[in-house]
Structure 1
Amino acid sequence: MVKTATKLHYDIVGSFLRPTELKKAREEFFNKKITAEELQEVENDLIRELVEKEIESGLKIVTDGEFRRSYWHLDTFWGFAGIEHVIPSHGYLFHDEETRADSARVIGKIEFKPDHPDLLAYKFLEELVEKNDEITARQSIPAPAQFYSELVRDEENIKALRKVYPDEDGLIADIGKAYRELILALYEAGCRDVKLDDCTWGMVVDNNYWATRAGKGLDRQEIQKKYLAANNAALIDLPDDLRISTHVCRGNYHSTWAASGGYAPVADYLFAKEDVSAFYLEFDDDRSGDFAPLAKVPEGKDVVLGLVTSKHPELESAESLIARVKEATQYVPLEHLKLSTQCGFASTEEGNKLTPEQQWAKIKLVVDTAKQIWK
């Protein structure tokens, strides 16, 4: 059954804390104690349980929790032809931690593969809800700009990249084509809601980070043009009933963060020109800046306010959330605002420092508060 996304005023970003059973099974698979098929059965069972829990909690748009992924982004990149999984000397540097060291590197022409893991994952999720007219299955994928950023992450990646793509135009064209084919394959499988997760803009807004990049001869405006070109290249001539949104993140690893800064430096590109219908934005603390840049969001597009943090267990007050939504209506009409968690609960399999019970309490707060605001 084909469904379109329901117009709602509460939402989630998509990743959930990995159950202990899942972490154990992934470790056993890594150590070759169980087969890929046995791991998949564990994943299937736990995803079924998760989707039931999501529906019970009142969510109308559900995900598989990203239970089949190690990372929110790299697993998608590794699924394309022309990409290899490599281990660099360092992981990503966050505020007070360094992640595991993994990356994606070009070894050939980038192309979509019909057995892409995100497509296979979505097909299973769709089967779980296809007979429920009230529920939409969402597939979240890292944005094309994030893919581009990974491929130029360090000197080794750039060196490998230039052997295959001596010019940027060819690279961006192939990234856009591969992504567009993935999105259309998801659509053919029944998907009507695709979210592009994107940390690139979250890094651009960070003045300290950008000072370092500028010292290497990079221009803030030029990199935004490249990110925008990569994302929009994937979004050409898509079906009218396919909802495409984007989530902008400043890093979400083990309850820590990677970047700070308000959205003003990227508003003229991200908000004004990216071909999506909704923006999922972090506004859970002072690092996110104020709502003023939302004035650049075109009329008719939705803004999903990530006011409930997924990083810490303490619950925000409903009163403070209601007040902040009201504040945001200075720039975006209430009918085009929504409430959500600021990010997922486990962008990587390590997860944030919350218990499952605290995770679901956050979601309940989002749902209950939204129902108070949008009666």
Structure 2
Amino acid sequence: MTLTKQKIGFQHVGSFLRPKGLKLARQQYEAGKFSIDDLREIEDEAIKDLIIKEKEAGLDYVTDGEFRRSYWHLDFFWGFEGVEHIHYGEGYHFAHEETRDDTARLSGKISFNPITHPFIQDFDFVKSVTDDIGGVQPKQTIPAPSQLYIELIRGENADKIKEFYPNEQDLFDDIEQAYHDAIIAFYDEGARVIQLDDCSWGLFLDENFLSTSDGKAYADSGIQDILLNLNNGALKDLPDDLTINTHVCRGNYHSDFAFSGGYGPVADTLFAKENVDTYFLEYDSNRSGGFEPLAKVSGDKNVVLGLLTTKSGKLENRQDIIDRINEASQYLPLDRLWLSTQCGFASTEEGNVLTEEQQWDKLKLVKSVIDEVWG
């Protein structure tokens, strides 16, 4: 059990609710009343305050709460060379809501430039804060390579692929290389834990979608192998002291979800073959299915059970969480399991429907259960 604790530590999935002052500052900036420097100064102060609170909550690894982003994924994509920010005309359709209509589309060949991609500077700031206060390490969250591919083949976006990549293998190669270069750039700046957030597997889990003709065609398309190869290709030849997490989610927008279903349909690919150290898995409701697929997690990889929801402020029953951890240990040993919330508190700047006090209460409960179960 000690090895698990040393390797994973207490960490949150990633995002936190944006403070009211930060939301107002962004509105002022978008209205042309604030300069980018004004906005960044307010972001800096909000992130410093957040990291101090994360340390006080007992976190070993901290994030910037994704405070500089509008979306958990799109902002990172827009930082690549050859990717542009456009409005699609239609948002993502969740169970009860439709999101804003931003998307990422090819405008040329994909590559990573550490000078122009803003996330490198953003990480440097977080690292400077953690170095200053001590006792915590920075964690960098980015969307998975597979997620970029899913965005680029979304509807009319796919037309641009044919324009810039007549040979689709060249697209795969460039995505893998751009991501590998980004990961190395974060590492060179001091990142030792990088997390690939990944909703791309969700469509394979949803029985309602898979029962349709489009769903059956999608499931039989071989795309699981494409997603796996993109992720693994980006993770080749990385430093031994770099830990790679992946967080697999079914959608998290304003307390809504996009997909339902257990992990069984992807276990033989995602759990058995993806070359990550740790899986952060959504297990906060019946929509996530049972723990049986955990038996497919290969090697000595670990699983962090997302048993507390971030979609509601209602605090879970402590014994229920412990009972579920024990149930999961029937399929994966307890020394390869850990605990977190199921997702971040604000995968987009809208945030989920709970208060800042409730989000900290959730993390306090996570910490206390970790201390009890793993010692």
Question: What is the TM-score when the length of structure 2 is the normalising length?
Answer: 0.96
Rounded Cα–Cα distance in structure 1 between residues aligned with 2:42 and 2:209: 40
Q: Which amino acid aligns with 1:140?
A: T
- Pairwise CA distance, 1:113: 1.4
Deviations 1:243-296 (A, max 9, x none): 001000000000000000000000011000001010000000000000000000
Alignment partner, residue 229 of structure 1: 229
Rounded Cα–Cα distance in structure 2 between residues aligned with 1:76 and 1:57: 28
Alignment partner, residue 82 of structure 2: 82
Query: SS at 1:200's partner residue?
Result: coil
> Contact 2:204–2:219 at 8 Å: present in 1 too?
no
Alignment partner, residue 250 of structure 2: 250
Rounded Cα–Cα distance in structure 2 between residues aligned with 1:215 and 1:138: 35
> Contact 1:73–1:142 at 8 Å: present in 2 too?
yes
Trace 1:256-267 onto structure 2 (pairs within 5 A): 256-267=256-267
Rounded Cα–Cα distance in structure 1 between residues aligned with 2:57 and 2:126: 17
Change (3 A) 1:236 1:33: same
Query: SS at 1:340's partner residue?
Result: strand
> Contact 1:9–1:337 at 8 Å: present in 2 too?
no
Trace 1:194-343 onto structure 2 (pairs within 5 A): 194-212=194-212, 214=214, 217-220=217-220, 222-343=222-343
Alignment partner, residue 349 of structure 1: 349
Deviations 1:285-323 (A, max 9, x none): 000000000000013111000000000011001100110
Change (3 A) 1:337 1:79: same
> Contact 1:210–1:220 at 8 Å: present in 2 too?
no
Query: SS at 1:203's partner residue?
Result: helix
Q: Which amino acid aligns with 1:178?
A: A
> Contact 2:9–2:60 at 8 Å: present in 1 too?
no
Alignment partner, residue 162 of structure 1: 162
Alignment partner, residue 105 of structure 1: 105
Rounded Cα–Cα distance in structure 2 between residues aligned with 1:361 and 1:192: 27
Query: SS at 1:105's partner residue?
Result: strand
Query: SS at 2:262's partner residue?
Result: coil
1:73 partnered with 2:73: yes
Rounded Cα–Cα distance in structure 2 between residues aligned with 1:9 and 1:193: 11
Change (3 A) 1:104 1:8: closer
Runs of 4+ in 1 over 4 A off after TM superposition: none
Alignment partner, residue 371 of structure 2: 371
> Contact 1:11–1:338 at 8 Å: present in 2 too?
no
1:13 partnered with 2:13: yes
- Pairwise CA distance, 1:9: 5.4
Deviations 1:37-58 (A, max 9, x none): 1100000000000000000011
Alignment partner, residue 148 of structure 1: 149
Query: SS at 2:7's partner residue?
Result: coil
Rounded Cα–Cα distance in structure 1 between residues aligned with 2:259 and 2:158: 23
Query: SS at 1:218's partner residue?
Result: helix
Q: Which amino acid aligns with 1:129?
A: T
Question: What is the TM-score when the length of structure 1 is the normalising length?
Answer: 0.96
Query: SS at 1:11's partner residue?
Result: coil
More divergent stretch after superposition (110-119 vs 236-245): 110-119
Rounded Cα–Cα distance in structure 1 between residues aligned with 2:208 and 2:190: 43
> Contact 2:10–2:61 at 8 Å: present in 1 too?
no
1:51 partnered with 2:51: yes
Alignment partner, residue 185 of structure 2: 185
> Contact 1:247–1:280 at 8 Å: present in 2 too?
yes
Percent identical among aligned pairs is: 52
Change (3 A) 1:131 1:177: same
Query: SS at 2:300's partner residue?
Result: coil
- Pairwise CA distance, 1:133: 5.7
Q: Mark the runs of 5 or more structure 1 residues left unpaired by the alignment.
A: none
Rounded Cα–Cα distance in structure 2 between residues aligned with 1:19 and 1:123: 22
Query: SS at 1:49's partner residue?
Result: helix
Alignment partner, residue 127 of structure 1: 128
Change (3 A) 1:109 1:60: same
Q: Which amino acid aligns with 2:282?
A: E
Give aligned pairs, total. 370
- Pairwise CA distance, 1:167: 2.6
- Pairwise CA distance, 1:117: 1.6
Change (3 A) 1:118 1:220: farther
Rounded Cα–Cα distance in structure 2 between residues aligned with 1:178 and 1:196: 14
Rounded Cα–Cα distance in structure 1 between residues aligned with 2:144 and 2:119: 13
> Contact 2:55–2:135 at 8 Å: present in 1 too?
no
Q: Which amino acid aligns with 2:118?
A: P
Rounded Cα–Cα distance in structure 1 between residues aligned with 2:165 and 2:287: 36
